A and B are shown apart, each in its own frame.
Chain A
Amino acid sequence: MNCEVCQLKELEVEHFEIREVLRCILHTILFHRALGLVRPKDVDLELFEITYVQCGDVELEKKIDEKIDQFIDRVEKHPNKKNQICLSFYEEKKQAVWFTNRVERLYWEQWYINLNVAQQPKSHSGKSHYSKVVVDPGESALEERSHRRAALEASLREVLFQIIKFVNEKKDHVPPIPNLEGVSFLYEITIPSSSDSAFGMDMFKRMLQTGHPTMLS
């Protein structure tokens, strides 16, 4: 089974925007992979004029929020600029190796969400210092902010389009739909440890791994 990997376009976010952006993206992906019976729920973002769709599964919502918390923790502890969160779908396969039963995960799809989190304290103080020198501090900062917000909204929209396109183009690898409600496939959300320098390398390793799922276990 081949594993399709989708690298989503990197988004420039500020710290306080992480949660909404991640929610929007993760739920959108999961909605496309919740092939059991769902009663979709529209959710309007607060920061952006975007409506995304949840599949109305409370458990799922909770799990996503937990992961986002973890991610934010990570961002705070390791203020790397580049951060990644990965949503993987897999099937389980029981395998008898020698005398033990091993459960093997067969990954069939992975989504990488790439966030570039603005260094909050620094950039903020820097900005305000700069704007104090400038004639009208409040206004220019506000303008810049709304400008940046609009740019992020557009990019987020692009990412959502990217998800839709990907889902549309790649359908063959999706396993048969189990007879379950809601999110019918097994999935996990991971936060790959990454440093600025090793970012690319780490990703490369991951891709290797996913290419050969057996290596994972």
Chain B
Amino acid sequence: MSMALYHGNTQSSEAAKMEQIITEFFAKSRQIILESRCPHVSSRNYSGEQMMSSPSPSSSSSSSSSIRGRDKWFNLALRDCPAAIESIDFWRQSNLEPMVVDIILVQRLSDWDPMSYSPRRDLVRNLSGKERFQNCWSSEDDEFGCDMKTEKIIERWVVQYESRKGGRDCSSGSKRSIAPSLHTLYKKSILLLRSLYAMVRLLPAYKLYRDLISSGQILTFNLAHRVSSFVEPFTHREESEMQQFEFTPVETFSGRLCLSVTYRSSLLDVSSEPSTPMTPQFIQDYVGSPMADPLKRLLSFPVPQGSPCSSPFGRRHSWSHDFYTPSPPSALPSPSPAYSDSRASISKPSSHCLPPRSLPRHLPETPQRHKNNTNLDAYWPSIFSPSPSTSPPAHLPSSHKSKALLRSESAPVSIPASKLGSTPLSNNNQILPRSPPLKVKRNSASKTQRSSGLVQTSTVDKLFSFGKYENKRCSGSSGVKLSSNSSPQKSFSRSSSKLSFQDDFDDSEFSGPFVVDDDDMADRGSRPGSFDQRGLIRDPLEPRGLFQVRKSQDAAVAALVHVLKRAPPLRQDISNSIDLSPSSSHVTLTNPTEERNEKSELRVQSAVISVASPKTTSAALEELRGYREMKDLLLRQKGMRSHTQAK
């Protein structure tokens, strides 16, 4: 149905308006669905936001009071839902494609074992999956970065525009009399979206969503979503377990707008699981009872049998504290691991030293936040007609593109041609760079306080799984620029996040700046801090003889934080390494590309540590250049002298 089918201006403009209504209907329905299905994306996740987000001025909450342009569509003002907006421009181009939104229940297997955690290959897989599915950050990867999980589609929403091919044959006059007016079409789509809005909240999956957003993070299940333009058929068995509800289609003059949902009517097996395992009495016994904090308390709920969290009763509070407090009242344990982690992740994003479990905690929040800032405020208007606010179906007279349904034409503001012509894939590419892993982590680096807890635990994971061998390995590979073992940079540069962590736990070590030597490391396993942490995860109930210092764990942490807070050695060190090793740098200066490499490397590191460092670096380079000139001059003079002497 192209515009050419209609003769005369009124008809064509009506067609264009209809196109836009349909497009916006796709977008809105998608937003309605996802808003109440993806826990990390929904802005109903208030607790999550408070917990994870930095006080960014451009957060979604700040804008919630004002009605913006796209809110006016269908007279339904929704909250920001970045996931819903992300890939909608695909349907913008071809609204003849059905839009299939699958809501997937991801369940962690109960014999889940943190020791078998593999580095996050998942991320890569997800990216490729994204291209295929037009996906956005689905929560499945956020929560469980491992393959030990089951996925089950519990809801499938299909939004579809069924074009009536024969419509053209009718004479335009008679057709008009039968066809609903634009107003009617719009009114009916409003009604349809209202009932969709209510329906989404009535279906069983909504309860899962509520559980997820109300209970913090750790549940044995999670909800993910997948948006695609094709239907993967259900098996017969699946079909038998599902029910369907078809909303009454909205007739237009060239087809009809259909919306249906297939859903699992019973999710009992899932939803009952998280609430069963434990009674709160257990927790109340703890020192520093998590019961005081609703967020902490949740940690204890959804624990599957044999999961790492379920066993260490005696130590739970130290976890939950780290886990759930964005900036703990004592504020102590957090900074260090996060610092080191972020450093590691920035300089070496794919490093295997990067603890896999540190990611899940960042990802749900940070990419979203990121999108909030860019996608919504900057990116959004360029895709959508920026002023649907005024009169929704505005019309552009010219028709230079022959898109099937004139998607683009109807937008009040012309969309750049590149966008129009782009395939879904390239569209994706526009979106994907917004949340690459590196960026995400970098983002998290600035939110040290928030993410630290998680990082810490993951660091601990690493700690016991790699031990001192890892240390050696890391220090061995930790960088060209490390000239001496005594350099503090050894433990802080790149890959060795866990090194610093271990150091941190040892309060007695703090007289020297993070000196790491092998004797020390061998010893480390029996040190109070690290050992305690280790026992917590691996086998907390096993009695150990080395706990004499256990009470000092907090003290160790405090001391560590204290040291890190001051952390002068870091900056000094960078400048030191530059200043003290002019000779080595000197060599690299001869090669311009190397110089650039090194420069950028330095910048990467220093970006985390201090803003001042780049300046120092360039100053040092300048200085070196000066030395070199001086040397050349001397050599020349010497040569001249010898020359003259020879004469």
Contacts and interface: CB of A to CB of B under 8 A. Distances in A.
A135 B642 CA distance: 118
Nearest to B248: A168
B419 interface: no
B636 interface: no
Interface in B178-201: 183, 187-188, 190-192, 194-195, 197-199, 201
Contacts, number: 72
B306 to A, nearest CB: 29
B67 interface: yes
A38 B191 contact: no
A39 B67 contact: yes
B196 to A, nearest CB: 9
Contacts of B198: 28, 31-32, 52-53, 160, 163-164
Contacts of B187: 35, 171, 174, 176-177
Given A36-B75, A37-B71, A176-B183, A168 B247 contact: yes
Contacts of A105: none
A38 B76 CA distance: 5
Nearest to B188: A171
Contacts of A51: 201, 206, 210
Interface string B67-81: 100011001111000
A67 to B, nearest CB: 21
A42 B201 contact: yes
Interface string B207-225: 1001000000000000000
Interface string A1-42: 000000000000000000000000000100110011111101
B44 interface: yes
Contacts of B197: 31, 40, 53
B417 interface: no
A161 to B, nearest CB: 7
Nearest to B246: A168
Secondary structure dominating the interface of B = helix
A161 B44 CA distance: 23
A164 B192 contact: no
A32 B194 contact: yes
Contacts of B170: none
Interface in A165-215: 167-169, 171, 174, 176-177
A49 interface: yes
B202 interface: yes
Question: In which size bucket is the chain B interface?
Answer: 20 to 34
Contacts of B190: 35, 177
Secondary structure dominating the interface of A = mixed
A157 interface: yes
A176 B247 CA distance: 21
B44 A42 contact: yes
A35 to B, nearest CB: 5
A32 B202 contact: no
Contacts of B75: 35-38, 177
B252 to A, nearest CB: 13
B191 A167 contact: yes
Interface in B99-114: none
A167 B188 contact: no
Given A32-B194, A37-B71, A171 B202 contact: no
- Tell me which of A40, A157, A161, A174 has the highest count of chain B C-beta atoms within 10 A of its own C-beta: A40
- Tell me which of B72, B75, B78, B206 has the highest count of chain A C-beta atoms within 10 A of its own C-beta: B75
Contacts of B183: 176-177
A83 to B, nearest CB: 24
B191 A161 contact: no
Contacts of A50: 202
Contacts of A52: 198, 201
A74 B556 CA distance: 68
Interface of B: 44, 67, 71-72, 75-78, 183, 187-188, 190-192, 194-195, 197-199, 201-202, 206-207, 210, 247-248
22 contacts: A32-B194, A35-B187, A37-B67, A37-B72, A37-B76, A39-B67, A40-B77, A50-B202, A51-B206, A51-B210, A52-B198, A53-B198, A163-B198, A164-B195, A168-B192, A168-B195, A168-B247, A171-B187, A171-B188, A171-B248, A177-B75, A177-B183
Nearest first, the 7 A-B pairs at minimum CB distance are A39-B77, A37-B75, A168-B248, A164-B195, A51-B201, A32-B194, A167-B195
